[in-house]
Amino acid sequence: MRLAGAVDIGGTRTKIGIVAEDGRIVERTTLSTTAGGEPEPLVHGLVSALRPMLARVTEPSRLTSVGVSVAGFLDRDHSMMVANANLPALCGFPLRRVLEERLAIACRLECDSNAAALAEYRFGAGKSSARLLDVTVGTGFGGGVIIDGELLRYTGECAGDLGHIIVDPNGRRCTCGAQGCLEAMVCSAALSERAGGRSVREIVAGARRGEPLALEALAETGRWLGLGLASLSPVFAPDRIVVGGGVAAARELLLEPVLASYRIHGAPEFREKVDVVTSSFDGWEGMVGAACLTFDHAG
């Protein structure tokens, strides 16, 4: 079975590992993402973590290449990121070339929203979907769309910046500069604020213990997310929506208010027919999807 190196660069954490052709994660680790300043600390860190993993592959002929998922818009050649308010250090940086030079192996760069959608379509909750909308809720909000097995690309080599539809003109200020974007209302920072500054992990754990503040924080986040998904549905007409990312680790505690809100705000043709489910990758879908790029799958 073929193997691939895989990297998923997010706004807060970067996930690094080796992934098998069947979607199984063979080895993994994480490191902090440097959100500002120079790109060198992040590049050095991920190369230092990935190089020994690649070296431990006992049959090098099984190793295809390295797939890299990055949170942002890409140039047409998929050589660098060109826009992301949460990762300014990587904008305009020749990431693919630098990684290929330092790792001595071919690399493929993809938008994280597309990579996550590919993982769900190939191995996860998006299997068999003809029109898949996959959203990732974490430091930011991203969305990828697969229609009849093909990734939708029309802005920044992806489906566009879906998190920046405005759902509340009086809501939180977004990192993009607008106010009340879907991303600003459902991201991990918004969830943390609603729960008194606790981390997402602490909030999810508290909610599972039945703590009212944690439950309400997730419920409010779910309400905004449901409204956002209802707003996006007429644009992409999905038959299934998969919710992934770190915030989605709450699973049913987030999904229940999402579904309730979606049914209130969505048009009848969508709220009655669209399956809305959570990812089963526990936040690792971007890395698995990055590996998909090297296995000649759709996209």
Q: What is the DSSP string of 1-46?
A: --EEEEEEE-SSEEEEEEEETTS-EEEEEEEE---SS-SHHHHHHH
pLDDT of residue 84: 83
pLDDT confidence tier of residue 36, bands split at 50, 70 and 90: low
Identify whether 123 is part of a domain: no
pLDDT of residue 244: 95
pLDDT confidence tier of residue 295, bands split at 50, 70 and 90: confident
pLDDT of residue 87: 84
- Torsion region of 23: left, alpha or beta (phi above 0 gives left; psi -120 to 50 gives alpha): left
H or E element, residue 217: helix 212-236
- Indicate whether 55 and 172 sit together in one domain: no
- Indicate whether 136 and 250 sit together in one domain: yes
Identify whether 135 is part of a domain: yes
pLDDT confidence tier of residue 98, bands split at 50, 70 and 90: very high
Alpha-carbon separation of residue 299 from 130, 156, 211 (angstroms): 14, 15, 42
- Indicate whether 151 and 26 sit together in one domain: no
The tens digit of pLDDT for each residue in 123-156 reads 999 998 999 999 999 999 999 999 999 999 989 9
Q: Among 42-51, 83-92, 186-195, 240-249, which stretch is predicted with the lowest mean pLDDT? A: 83-92
Average pLDDT over residues 61-90: 91
- Indicate whether 102 and 196 sit together in one domain: no
- Indicate whether 137 and 197 sit together in one domain: yes
- Indicate whether 194 and 223 sit together in one domain: yes
Identify whether 175 is part of a domain: yes
User: Does residue 24 surpass a pLDDT of 90?
Assistant: yes
pLDDT of residue 59: 87
pLDDT confidence tier of residue 297, bands split at 50, 70 and 90: very low
- pTM, 2 dp: 0.93
- Indicate whether 95 and 155 sit together in one domain: no
pLDDT of residue 85: 76
Average pLDDT over residues 154-172: 95
- Indicate whether 144 and 247 sit together in one domain: yes
pLDDT of residue 272: 85
Identify whether 57 is part of a domain: yes
pLDDT confidence tier of residue 299, bands split at 50, 70 and 90: very low
Range of 234's domain?
128-278
Identify whether 122 is part of a domain: no
Spatial distance between the Cα atoms of 243 and 159, rounded to a whole number of angstroms: 16
Identify whether 261 is part of a domain: yes
- Indicate whether 111 and 159 sit together in one domain: no
Average pLDDT over residues 86-107: 93
Domain count across the chain: 2
Long-range contacts of 41-49 (CB under 8 A, 24+ apart): 42/9, 42/14, 42/89, 42/90, 43/95, 43/98, 43/99, 43/102, 45/14, 46/7, 46/9, 46/14, 46/16, 46/99, 47/99, 47/102, 47/103, 49/16
The tens digit of pLDDT for each residue in 248-290 reads 989 999 999 999 999 999 999 998 899 999 998 989 999 999 9
- Indicate whether 28 and 144 sit together in one domain: no
Identify whether 83 is part of a domain: yes
- Indicate whether 86 and 137 sit together in one domain: no
Average pLDDT of every residue of the chain: 94
Average pLDDT over residues 19-45: 89
Identify whether 120 is part of a domain: no
Q: Identify the CATH number of the domain in which residue 34 sits.
A: 3.30.420.40
- Indicate whether 15 and 143 sit together in one domain: no
